[in-house]
Amino acid sequence: MLNLIWLLLSGFLIFIIFLRAPQNGGLASFATKSDLLGSPSSAERFLNNLTALLIILYLLLAIQLNFNNL
């Protein structure tokens, strides 16, 4: 069960990291012109917090799975 959660979490982390708009323009210009995610600064802050939380959860699950395999 933990293996499945860990696998899904790693896939979602890859997706959310690629979803982030680049800081040098690119999709950022689209994000400032569209209210798709609300305010660009609040959306970016939410994605930063979500990414950090999921990375911590990913690492904790990796440690737990490593100790289970010993």
- pLDDT tens digits, 27-68: 555 555 555 555 667 878 888 899 999 999 999 999 999 998
Give the pLDDT score at 38: 54
What total number of domains does the chain contain? 1
Query: Which domain, by its residues, includes 24?
Result: 2-68
- Block residue for tokens 């950090």: 52
pLDDT of residue 4: 92
DSSP 1-70: -HHHHHHHHHHHHHHHHHHSPPTTSTHHHHHHH--TTSSHHHHHHHHHHHHHHHHHHHHHHHHHHHHHT-
pLDDT at 9 over 80: yes
Whole-angstrom Cα distance, residue 21 to residue 64? 32
- pLDDT for res 48: 86
pLDDT confidence of residue 16: 86
